[in-house]
Amino acid sequence: MSRIVHVVGTGTIGEPLIGLLCHYKDKLGIDEVTFNKRTPLYTDRSKVKNLLERGAYLSTSPEAMSGFEKLGMQPSFETRGAIERSAVVIDCTPSGAGLANKEEYYKSATSVKGFVAQGSEFGFGKMYARGINDEALIPEEDRFLHVVSCNTHNLAAIIKTMALGNGTMPDNLISADFVCMRRANDVSQDAGFAPSPRVGRHKDEKFGTHHARDAYHLFRTLNLEYGGLFSSAVKLNSQYMHTLRFRLKVKEPTTMEQLLTRVKENDRLARTYKKSSNQVFSFGRDHGFFGRILNQTVIPHEALSIVDGTDITGFCFTPQDGNSLLSSVASSCWLLDPDTYEEKLQVLKPWFFEEV
């Protein structure tokens, strides 16, 4: 079977993902990268042409074929055919569309090894975040994977590193409270900018927002149950990246030195002396892969506080969409070959920074 990876959607997540897969195709053990775009638009032509030049192939619906051709973009496949000839499909469509695509296309495509959906698609499949629950993935059994949202990655990384001692103290967490300070929209987006901070509703009765709920379910895949998670969200009038404020209550007293050692031991976390998200974002722009660093989170360690040894408070920055991209690549490589994916992912190591 050809090792074809197909990406559905060319938006904020899809576009950089297609580029990254094309760039590292050979080293990741991928034969071909294809992608689906629904709408032929002059405004998107430059990005489609660039992705074609980088070696990817375009698919679209039968109805949209001539529209793309008229604008000088040549599709190679139609939507369903492109899915069915793939080894792995990564769905990068917005809220609800991934679940609908699962019903319409994915469930019947039985020769495809597996499907990956993004943050908004609660219920799509087993939740996954690279470095958090890799051991929960079951070869041959798990065909539908749900990469959790970028902020959920961040919550889970903070819990696992700081409260669970990088997984060595699974019973150590008592409770965790988070405030997700979200950037209004991505630098690639026109819509959705917020003129001032805008608070979100606590729609989930137990967990507040979906971030803590999803982190709860993510740890459940490891048979760990942390009922004391709670999150709130506020949109800020910034475009740079999300900032997270956390407060963890743990059983075993800890010191700042121990905490910083745990952060250092986890190479997916970065430390920083910088205090603002624009400084961290700017580092990514200059030193990341096409502007992105792939760390799970960046911790301004001078802003950490420990009270009575057991109350840990601090802030961290979610590096744009880097963690979702990493987990999307990792889960795809795992679906292609669970025995070699760890080794293949090492090609992305230059984009993990110990210090930002």
Ligand X SMILES: NC(=O)c1ccc[n+]([C@@H]2O[C@H](COP(=O)([O-])OP(=O)(O)OC[C@H]3O[C@@H](n4cnc5c(N)ncnc54)[C@H](OP(=O)(O)O)[C@@H]3O)[C@@H](O)[C@H]2O)c1
Footprint of ligand X (CB under 6 A)? 8-14, 37-39, 92-94, 97, 101, 118-121, 149-150, 186, 321, 324
User: How far apart are CB 302 and ligand X at their closest, in Å?
Assistant: 27
Tokens linked to 61: 């619906």
Residue number with CB closer to ligand X (58 or 270): 58
Residue number with CB closer to ligand X (68 or 315): 68
Residue number with CB closer to ligand X (98 or 208): 98
Close Cβ partners of 205 (under 8 Å, ≥ 6 residues apart): none
Cβ count near 185 (within 10 Å): 16
User: How far apart are CB 214 and ligand X at their closest, in Å?
Assistant: 11
User: How far apart are CB 149 and ligand X at their closest, in Å?
Assistant: 5
Close Cβ partners of 261 (under 8 Å, ≥ 6 residues apart): none
Q: Which residues of 78-110 are buried (b: 16+ CB within 10 A; e: fewer)?
A: bbbebbbbbbbbbbbbeeebbbebbeebbeeee
Strand 173-183 to strand 242-250: parallel, antiparallel, or no bridges (unpaired)? antiparallel
User: How far apart are CB 112 and ligand X at their closest, in Å?
Assistant: 16
User: How far apart are CB 140 and ligand X at their closest, in Å?
Assistant: 26
Close Cβ partners of 114 (under 8 Å, ≥ 6 residues apart): 88, 89, 142, 143, 144, 145, 331, 335
Residue number with CB closer to ligand X (94 or 200): 94
User: How far apart are CB 105 and ligand X at their closest, in Å?
Assistant: 9
Residue number with CB closer to ligand X (114 or 165): 114
Tell me the DSSP string of 43-66: HHHHHHHHHHHTT-EEEE-GGGHH
Residue number with CB closer to ligand X (35 or 353): 35
Q: Residue with CB nearest ligand X?
A: 11
